[in-house]
Chains A and B, each alone.
Chain A
Amino acid sequence: MPTKPAGTLYRGREGMWSWVGHRVTGVVIFFFLLVHVLDTSLVRVSPEAYTSVIGAYKNPIMGLGEAGLVAAIVFHAFNGLRIILVDFWKSGPKYQRQLLWGVLGLWVITMVPFLIRHLSIVFSAIPGGH
C-alpha cells in the first residue's frame, strides 16, 4: 500500500539547527544591508528625500521589524563567535552544544533589555499615544 511520496526531513540536532539559524539570519541581515546602503546613499542625492524615507520607518510595523533585525544580528554575532571557537579552540567541538546554550543565553540577556527599551519607544511614539 504505497503512500505519500515525500521524503523526511533529516533529523539533525543542535548543531544542524544552529547552522540553519545562522544561514537564515545571515540572509536576513544581507537584505537589510542592501536596503540600508540604498537609503543611506539617498542623502547624497537629496537630504530631503533621505529625511522623508527615514521618517517613513517610524511606525510600529517597522519598529517590530527592527526588533527582528536586532534579534537576527545578535544571534548571528554570538553564533559566529561559537563557530570560531568550534574551529580553532581545542575543546570547541567537544563543547559545541554547551557553547550553543551559551549563545542562546547571551541572546536572551541582550534581547530582553533591548526589547523593553526599544518597544517602549516604538509604541509610545504612536500618534495619539502622547
Chain B
Amino acid sequence: MTAELAEPASKVELPASVGGGEIPTFNVTLRVRRYNPEVSPEPVWEDFELTMYGTDRVLDALHKIKWEHDGSLSFRRSCAHGVCGSDAMRINGRNRLACKTLLKDLDTKKPILVEPIKGLPVEKDLIVDMEPFFQSYREIMPFLINKGHEPTRERLQSAEERARFDDTTKCILCAACTSSCPVFWTDGQYFGPAAIVNAHRFIFDSRDDAGDMRLEILNDKEGVWRCRTTFNCTEACPRGIQVTQAIAEVKQAILTRRV
C-alpha cells in the first residue's frame, strides 16, 4: 500500500476553492471593421454581441463570429498560439495578435474595436496584402551569407557573440511593428521596422559576412534614416523585441563601422 505511486498532478481532484469551478462568462460587443469590395467600396463597422468566457482571447471571439454568427467574416490565423504571426490586427486602436490578447484584459463594458493593420492594402475584412511587407523583408537578404570555406562541422560561435543579436531572432514576421509605424503609413517605400530587425539579426551575427552589404542597403533614403523613433513598433511587438533599439544600433553601425 505504502509503495503505491501518487497520482499525476493533473488527475488529483481539486477542491472547488482551489480551482476547477465554473469559468465566468460575460457579454461583450465586438465591433469589427468589415470590407468587401464586391459589396461596397467603403469599409463598414459591424457589431456582434457575444457571450464569452474569462479564458477567451479576441481570436476565440472572432472564431465564434465566424462559426456561429457570420461565416463570411475573413481573417488570417494559423497556429493560434502567438508563434506563426498570422493574426496581427488593430485591437482597440493598437496592433496586437488576436491570439495573445485576452478579452478580460480589455474594457468589456465598451465595444471592442477590431480593425485590419494600417498601411497595407486591405483585401477583405481583416485580411491585408502582405506583399509590400515581404518585399522589404526579401531586400535585406534574410539568410546567412558566408564567404569562407564551408566547415565540415557546425559554425561555432561564442555565447557572447550569440547574445549580441538574440533579441532580433525572435521576430515572427507578423507585421505588427511595420504597420504601427506612422512613417510607413504615409511612405510605403520605407523598409519598415520588421525588415530592419531582420537585417540586424544578420548584421550582428559573427558567422555572417554580408553585414556591410546590408548596411549599404539600409543606408538608403528609404532605409533606417526614415525612422523617427516614435516607439510604436517597440510597443506593438508581440514578442517584446526592442525594435527601436535595434534600428538605433543599425544607424550607429552605418555611421561608425564604415559607409
**Contact status A12-B115, CB under 8 Å:** no
Give the number of residue pairs across the A-B interface with Cβ within 8 Å: 84
From residue 91 to 141 of chain B, which have CB atoms closer than 8 A to chain A?
Answer: 92-94, 113, 115, 118
Of the residues B44, B90, B182, B235, contact of A5 by C-beta under 8 Å: B44
Set of chain B residues within 8 Å of A102, measured between Cβ atoms: none
Determine whether the beta carbon of A7 is less than 8 Å from that of B94. Answer: no
Asked whether any CB of chain A lies closer than 8 Å to the CB of B240, the reply is no
> Chain A contacts of B235 at CB under 8 A?
12-13, 15
Interface residues of B in 193-233 (CB under 8 A from A): 228-232
- Which residues B34-54 have CB closer than 8 A to chain A? 34, 42-47
| A18 to B228 Cα, complex, angstroms | 10
B226 to chain A, nearest CB (A): 13
* CB <8 Å contact, A10 and B245: no
Q: Decide yes or no whether A9 CB sits under 8 A from chain B.
A: yes
B44 proximity list for chain A (CB < 8 A): 2-3, 5
Closest partner residue, chain A, to B252 (CB atom): A88
| A119 at interface by CB-CB < 8 Å | no
A38 in contact (CB, < 8 A): no
B230 touches A15 (CB 8 A): yes
Among B34, B94, B242, B252, contact of A10 (Cβ-Cβ < 8 Å): B94
- A93 to B93, Cβ gap below 8 A? no
What separation, in Å, do the CA atoms of A5 and B92 have in the docked complex? 16
Alpha-carbon separation in the docked complex, A8 to B242 (Å)? 26
B42, B182, B231, B232 pick with most chain A CB within 10 angstroms: B231
Asked if A10 contacts B43 (CB within 8 A), the reply is no
Residues of chain B lying within 8 A (CB to CB) of residue A7: 33, 43, 115
Choose among A1, A9, A14, A88 the residue that contacts B231 (Cβ–Cβ < 8 A).
A14
Q: Shortest CB–CB separation between residue B216 and chain A, in angstroms?
A: 19
Decide if A3 touches B245 in the complex (CB within 8 Å): no
In the bound complex, residues from chain A placing their C-beta under 8 Å from that of B31 are 3
B248 adjacent to chain A (CB < 8 Å) = yes
Give the most central of A10, A12, A16: most B CB within 10 Å.
A10
Determine how close the nearest CB of chain B comes to the CB of A108; give it in whole angstroms: 23
Decide if B178 is an interface residue (CB 8 Å cutoff). Answer: no
Known: A2-B45, A2-B46, A86-B229. A94 touches B93 (CB 8 A): no
If A87-B229, A93-B234 touch, does A11 touch B93 (CB 8 Å cutoff)? yes
Cβ-neighbour of B251 out of A5, A15, A87, A96 (below 8 A): A87
For the complex, what is the distance from the CA of A87 to the CA of B226, rounded to whole Å?
Answer: 12
Decide if A8 touches B113 in the complex (CB within 8 Å): yes
A-B contact pairs, 6 of them (CB 8 A): A3-B46, A5-B44, A7-B43, A10-B182, A12-B231, A88-B252
Further 15 A-B residue pairs, CB within 8 A, beyond A3-B31, A93-B234, A96-B229: A1-B46, A3-B44, A3-B47, A8-B90, A9-B93, A10-B180, A11-B94, A12-B180, A14-B231, A16-B232, A19-B228, A86-B248, A93-B242, A94-B245, A96-B231
Counting from the closest, the 6 A-B pairs by CB-CB distance are A15-B231, A11-B93, A2-B44, A93-B245, A16-B230, A19-B230
